[in-house]
Every structure is written in C-alpha cells, then in structure tokens.
C-alpha cells in the first residue's frame, strides 16, 4: 500500500458517506469520473474491491470499511498534531471537544464555562448523545473526552472519577407519599414506594437497569405505568401526577428548588454511582485536551448540582 495517498482515502470516505460518486464529487467540487479514477487506483493498490452497489447506493465492502476507519483516525491525528503545533505557537489557545451523555447536559456546560474562564482563548465544542453515540464518537476520535456514568466494555480507555452520581425517586409535591412523609418525618419503605405506579425509562438505559434492580431487591413485579424515552418527559409526567420515577438527581435540581418536584426519602436510596471522564488509552493528546482532563479531576465535582432529599425527621423517636 505504499502508493496510497490521503487524497484517495478521503475520496473513498466521501463516497461511502454520501452513497454515490456524484454526491461525493459535488461535495468535493470535482467530477464523478475524477473521483472514480482515484478510487480505482486505491483498489488496485489494495488488491481488493472497496465499494459495492447496494439498495441505498454505493457502500463500503469490509476492506473499504477498514480503510475509511483508518482515514478517520489519520485525519483526527493530523488535526490533533495541527492543534498541538498551534498551541506551541500561541500558548493557552487550542480546541477541545467534549462528548457527554444526555444526563450530563445539566452540568457539563457549567464545567466548560468554568474552564473557559480559566482558559479564555480555548475554543470548546460540546456533543450530547446517548451512551452508545458518545462511545462511537470517542472511538472514532470525533471527540477528545467523554463524560458518562458507566465505563465501556471492550474499548481501551483511560477513565477517572470526578464526582458522585446519585439516583433518587421523585413524586409530585402534592402526592400522598410526599404529604405523608412531611407529616411523619419518617423514611418510606422501598417496597411501599415501588407499589405505586412507576414511570420508567426505556429498556437498555442506565436508569432502567437501576430501577429493575430495585424491583428485584424487594421481590416485586415491576408496576410500570408508562415507558418514556427522556428525562424531560419523565419529569413532566411526574409533575402531572402520573406516578413516581427513579431519576438522576443531577437532572432535577431546578424543579426541586422551584417546588415542582419532590424527592422522596426512601430506605436504601439514593443509589450512588460515579461520574467518569474518559479518553482513548492510546491516543496522543493536545495540551488543551490534557488541561480539560486535569480540570475535570480537580474542579468538575464542585459544579455538580446539589438537592435536598426528603424532609428531616422531627425527632429521633420519629425515625
């Protein structure tokens, strides 16, 4: 493959991304025959077919996918090298991209704002997605660091804990459970709370895994009133009095402070997990990325929301 060029790899990647030679040529401001000729030269150098026609247009063969993945990594490394050179020329500047799972969007902007105050010349980008999306971005070098609660399996990463991540059960402020707890000052039994109609995240989400574990711990069949696909929808449904829900405490600070949601003081809760910041284990990092990594370890924990759980007991005997 000594005759392979970056230009050919980028042409192949664009054909695969757009699904056709014509679309790739239009995006690259070239002609389709010129793109096709370079892809043929690349196939000749590799000795394998790299694209094939499928129902949706041109798509990569297995060999083509390997080359496209390599092209993405090469471009990412070149971009990182360019950034490091820029940083050497202008100390304190640079660019960093953070990826975060959707639950982290409630505090990640505050962490980045604090980092920006300390490094005003740094350019920052934030990408929000579900866990699988963020891990894909990290693996493809499209983000520099990632924030999530569960470490990935099968991906070589370096990870560090920067704060606690509690899960709590919420209810509408006028629900019978909240009123009873305010009256008695006692912690609620978990089995009693889970006997209520429970609003749940979809299967496969981290929150749903925690909820299923709670049901198993008390030996109850799940009393799921509705499955919802986002924290925001869960919160709105609880506020409407449709049931109780297990949710990350870091997603509800504003609603609890405003009195629109109440956090139940339940025996065995909160469930405490950790927030993690991750980076690819074998990737070379720019000084800017390293600075954000170190900032997460030193300062991000102070940016996590704090909430009040339940109501304090009236006396020791009331416990």
Domains 76-163+274-303 and 165-273+307-318 share a fold: yes
For β-strands 51-54 and 57-60, DSSP reports them as antiparallel
CB 129 within 8 A of CB 99: yes
Please give the class, per CATH, of domain 76-163+274-303.
alpha beta
Task: Express each pLDDT in 162-220 by its tens digit.
Answer: 999 999 999 999 999 999 999 998 999 999 999 999 999 888 777 888 899 999 999 98
Give the least confident one: 88-97, 151-160, 292-301: 88-97
Chain-wide mean pLDDT for the chain?
88
Report the C-alpha gap between 296 and 128 in whole angstroms: 17
Please give the class, per CATH, of domain 165-273+307-318.
alpha beta
Q: What percent of the chain has pLDDT over 90?
A: 64
The domain over range 6-70 is classified in CATH as 3.30.420.40 = no
* 317 — pLDDT class (breaks 50, 70, 90): very low
pLDDT for the residue numbered 53: 84
Report the C-alpha gap between 289 and 145 in whole angstroms: 8
Q: Is 53 exposed, middle or buried (0-12, 13-18, 19+ CB in 10 A)?
A: exposed
312 has a pLDDT exceeding 50: no
Task: Express each pLDDT in 135-168 by its tens digit.
Answer: 999 999 999 999 999 888 889 999 999 999 999 9
Q: Where are the domains of the chain?
A: 6-70, 76-163+274-303, 165-273+307-318
């Amino acid at each position: 493959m000594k005759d392979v060029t970056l230009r050919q790899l980028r042409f192949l990647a664009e054909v695969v991304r757009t699904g056709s030679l014509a679309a790739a040529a239009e995006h690259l401001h070239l002609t389709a025959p010129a793109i096709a000729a370079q892809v043929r030269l690349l196939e000749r150098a590799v000795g394998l077919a790299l694209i094939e026609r499928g129902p949706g247009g041109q798509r990569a063969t297995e060999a083509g996918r390997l080359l496209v993945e390599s092209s993405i990594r090469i471009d990412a490394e070149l971009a990182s090298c360019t950034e490091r050179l820029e940083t050497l020329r202008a100390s304190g500047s640079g660019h960093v991209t953070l990826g975060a799972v959707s639950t982290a969007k409630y505090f990640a902007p505050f962490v980045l704002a604090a980092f920006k105050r300390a490094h005003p010349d740094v350019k920052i980008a934030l990408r929000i997605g579900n866990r699988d999306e963020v891990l894909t971005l990290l693996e493809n070098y499209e983000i520099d660091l990632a924030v999530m609660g569960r470490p990935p399996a099968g991906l070589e990463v370096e990870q560090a804990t920067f704060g606690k991540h509690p899960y709590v059960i919420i209810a509408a402020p006028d629900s019978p459970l909240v009123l009873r707890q305010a009256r008695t000052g006692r912690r609620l039994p978990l089995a009693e709370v889970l006997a209520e109609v429970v609003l749940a995240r979809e299967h496969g989400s981290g929150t749903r895994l925690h909820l299923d574990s709670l049901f198993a711990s008390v030996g109850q069949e799940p009393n799921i009133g509705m499955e919802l696909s986002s924290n925001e929808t869960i919160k709105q449904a609880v506020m409407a009095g449709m049931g109780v829900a297990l949710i990350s405490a870091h997603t509800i600070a504003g609603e609890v402070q405003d009195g629109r949601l109440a956090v139940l003081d339940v025996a065995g809760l909160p469930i405490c997990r950790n927030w993690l910041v991750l980076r690819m284990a074998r990737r070379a990092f720019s000084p800017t990325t390293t600075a954000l990594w170190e900032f997460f370890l030193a300062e991000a924990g102070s940016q996590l929301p704090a909430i009040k759980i339940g109501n304090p007991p009236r006396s020791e005997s009331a416990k």
